Structure 1
Amino acid sequence: MYWVGLALVRAGLIDRERARRTTDLAWPRIVTGLARMSKNAIDVAMVGIAIGTSAITGVGFAASFWGIAFALGGGVASGTIALVSQAYGADESGGQAVRSSVVLVLALTIPVAALFWSLPTELIGLLSNDPTVVALGGDYLRVVGLGIPFAGLNLIGSRTLVGTDDAWTPMVIRAGGAVVNIALNAVLIFGVGLGVVGAAIGTVVANVVVTTTFALGLTHGRVPFVGLFAVTLDPLGTYVDRDTIRQLVEIGTPMIGKNLAWRLGEFPLLAIVDIFGTAVAAAFVIALRVRDLMNTPGWGFSLASSSLVGQELGIGDEASAEAYGRDVMRFAVVVYFVSAGLVFVLAEPIALAFVGDPTAPALPITVTLIYATCIGIVFRGLSRTASGPLRASGDTRWPFYGQVLGYAVAIPVAYLGAVTPLGLAGLGLAIVIEMVAPAIVNYYRFSTGKWKAISRSYRPAASAGD
């Protein structure tokens, strides 16, 4: 990443100082993303080795329900980072935004956790009629759903620190949680023989550990083995502040809609994929895990963009905010292009690492879907970074529109692949379209500059400090 940024600076495509600040903020988040997504990929590989392709499909289908935690928590956290980063840029406290974010996240995620505990097999049954897939996916979803409120709180903690220019501490905490998760999964899946339930327990415990660490650090200022926190908050302050909650809802609701459109849009795709059969379904799940790994640069670049743009908006420098947004986009797209090229070349050995058997019917299908993912992921990089300034400014409706458009086109194309001779090509095309459409919409909205005007109503002068 450093060498890519340096090359772009020398080519005169991005500013050196903006590249440095972007890199400083982005790389810890990218490492965090790699750790967490590697954990998810290893989960799939572990249950696949222990049980088989039905387990890959069941856990993969359940993981889409688990993603609702990130849709809800991530939407609220978009409001958190917008308010915290602008307050930080204006030398004010963002404590009220964080406390109110905690209330909102818990109110949204606890009912979801209860639903997954009560009706896990019924939910998986909406996507598949394979009894083995439904049973394994239901067992995983029932337990892993208990971790959803903690996963949402972890997003609030992470975004709070990133909004104050500290991406290092969340990286250490989240990477540590990923290590705990992988270790527990290995013991519970292979040692104790708990299978998919063991994988779910490992995920829940790791999220509880991460939440506890964030809470201690943000309230006490430091955590052993992690170090000092960039910001300390008063845990006894007001949690239900009407004005702050209103702003969080205004900013976060469109992002929740966008995230839910992304997550819920996966469900009809998964149901369509199930029509193709178990081999294609397992290949699709693997392709999604590879996509998530390739998408980890967006974790860093998107949040760096939100934080840096938000800080410039906080001091009223709209020209600098736009310059940061453009430079981060250019930086990210080139990084995505390089990583996609590497994965494209290595698609077959990557697929084999998941499938295990070189004679398995799922192997060539997985390779084909990984190729499609490599084509689309560059556009996902543009989409993620173009949405950064929109989130920082509070202009969060357009990312939602883009995601809805992506699935509105991709789902019919995938269905055509399932019921016509278009076949697997339709599914591959759907993977690409789902990533291209949001990129077009988000970049268009950024290019209009209207987000800068919208940000003025959310700047610190418009609301009370902590």
Structure 2
Amino acid sequence: MVLMTQAPARRPPARRRHDREIVALAVPAFGALVAEPLFVMADSAIVGHLGTAQLAGLGVASALLTTAVSVFVFLAYATTAAVARRVGAGDLQAAIRQGMDGIWLALLLGALVIAAVLPTAPALVSLFGASHTAAPYATTYLRVSALGIPAMLVVLAATGVLRGLQNTRTPLYVAVAGFVANAALNAALVYGAGLGIAGSAWGTVIAQCGMAAVYLTVVVRGARRHSASLRPDAAGIRASARAGVPLLVRTLSLRAILLIATAVAARLGDADIAAHQIILSLWSLLAFALDAIAIAGQAIIGRYLGADDAAGAREACRRMVEWGLAVGVVLGLLVIVGRPAFLPLFTGDPTVKDTALPALLVVALSQPVCGVVFVLDGVLMGAGDGPYLAWAMLVTLAVFTPAALLVPALGGGLTALWGAMTLMMTVRMATLWLRARSGRWLVTGATR
């Protein structure tokens, strides 16, 4: 009893403070992250009842749209770090002004994407291998959905603004409301109005525009409250773009790794690619939990560095790594325990199950490594250390590519491929850990 009553007293107050901050930011962020893929799931559920060709067309168009959004995710990451620094420096006016630069950049990029996608939609659909029956539906969905891309990018940038302001609850509320509106609009337009797959696309566009409008309302109110200008500033927009380029390189390198892994799995055989898709879905779900801690890291680290508190930033980093490691261990144990129950949810094919089981064990064992990687990635993003992150990911891509491409020749099947994925995450952990230990990311001040 004595030990139990004394333990809390010995716990450092700073650690408790960091725990509260991490939980307060990470839990809502996790909810918002999980709500995002529900958009595609709702569309799939509704369009799937129209026919196989329509569902196949949706699959191709959604893959293109998801790729586009993931490429521009730097709008959220770079904005979070920049705004958080200004918050730490106590200059909320400049913080919101910085966020507006990111939003204006999102609008410009969105307009460019529309101009590129509308005339090239049929070619893009063909490039992704859509069948002649699915291609018309994919083209229709892509062209309509492209009109919502500026809103999607504004949502990314505005989410970054609110995260930088240490607010992850509003993005959660907006994401949930957007999902509900999207599902209702899809059902009404697809079936009630008889618009078919075009109705699904229009429903999503309207929901995305509504989400963007809510975000803009929140940001504009904050700007007026702190007398921040809402006008586009060319220098600020250019600065936002420059900050985003290294993160774009990082994201493209990561996308290349995932595409290479899928291509190798496809060469291994039908059972392997089927099992790979199941495992990749689980891996992505686990990533949401870990990414929520990384998002908290971006906001917290940026604020500490903006406040010229390098020691606080280092201590927060250390505590978040402990969180990432602990959550990774828990997730790994859950995967091990849940393997027999998880696979039947996706397939009844015994060959696919037998192929996936050992690979799932590799995924489970790698989760502590993934936890550290996600957290350190978020910490360095929050510090504005984009150039190093880009370099580190290029090194990781260079190591992973030959390891993955050798899997079909050397044998080992899907388990070996996910071993290569674990190698990839280990290399990332090593590069990020070295940077974190060096302290070179601890650049203080309102701007980096």
Shared fold, TM over 0.5: yes
What is the deviation of 1:233?
6.7
**How far 1:372 sits from its partner (Å)?**
4.2
**Matching residue of 1:463:** none
What residue number does 2:309 align with?
A: 317
The answer (yes or no) to whether the contact 2:298–2:379 under 8 Å persists in 1 is yes
Task: Give identity over the alignment, percent.
Answer: 24
- Where does 1:33-432 land on structure 2 (aligned, <5 Å)? 33-40=33-40, 59=59, 62-63=62-63, 66-72=66-72, 74-92=73-91, 93=93, 94-120=95-121, 122-123=123-124, 125-126=126-127, 128=129, 141-184=142-185, 200-220=201-221, 237-242=230-235, 244-276=236-268, 280-355=272-347, 358-359=348-349, 362-365=352-355, 367=357, 369-418=359-408, 421-432=411-422
Following superposition, the deviation at residue 322 of structure 1 comes to 0.8
Q: Is the 8 A contact 1:78 1:251 kept in 2?
A: no
Which deviates more, 59-68 or 74-83? 59-68
Distance 1:104 1:196, change over 3 A: same
Q: Which amino acid aligns with 1:217?
A: V
Give 1:19 deviation, angstroms. Answer: 0.6
Q: Helix, strand or coil: the match of 1:119?
A: helix
Question: Which whole-Å CA distance do the structure 2 matches of 1:59 and 1:9 have between them?
Answer: 55
Counterpart-to-counterpart distance in 2, 1:432 and 1:422:
14
SS at match of 1:33: helix
- Partners of 2:195 and 2:397 lie apart in 1 by 36
Contact 2:189 / 2:196 at 8 angstroms: preserved in 1? Answer: yes
Change (3 A) 1:344 1:314: same
Deviation at residue 204 of structure 1 after TM alignment: 3.2
CA distance in 2, matches of 1:9, 1:414: 50
- How does the TM-score come out when normalised to structure 2? 0.82
Higher Cα Rg, which structure: 2
Superposition CA RMSD, Å = 3.8
- 2:57 and 2:134 in contact (8 A); partners too: yes
Equivalent residues, number? 440
Q: Output the TM-score relative to the length of structure 1.
A: 0.79
Separation in 1, partners of 2:79, 2:224: 14
Call closer, same or farther: CA 1:323–1:285 in 2, change over 3 Å: same
After superposition, the C-alpha distances for 1:34-65 in whole angstroms (9 at most, x for unaligned) are 22234445666777788679957972785265
Q: For the structure 1 residues 411 and 368, does the alpha-carbon distance in structure 2 shift closer, same or farther, using more than 3 Å as the test?
A: farther
Q: Residues 71 and 256 of structure 1 are in contact (CA less than 8 Å); yes or no, is this contact kept in structure 2?
A: yes
Distance in 2, Cα, partners of 1:85 & 1:371? 38
Q: For 2:30 and 2:17, locate their aligned partners in 1 and report how far apart those are by CA, in whole Å.
A: 20
Give 1:127 shift: 5.2
Letter in 2 for 1:35: A
Q: Structure 1 197/57 Cα, relative in aligned 2: closer, same or farther at 3 Å?
A: closer
In the other structure, the counterpart of 1:458 is 447
- Alignment check: 8 A CA contact 2:276 2:414 kept: no
Where do 5+ consecutive residues of structure 1 fail to align? 1-6, 222-229, 460-466
| 8 Å Cα contact 2:290-2:324 kept in structure 1 | yes
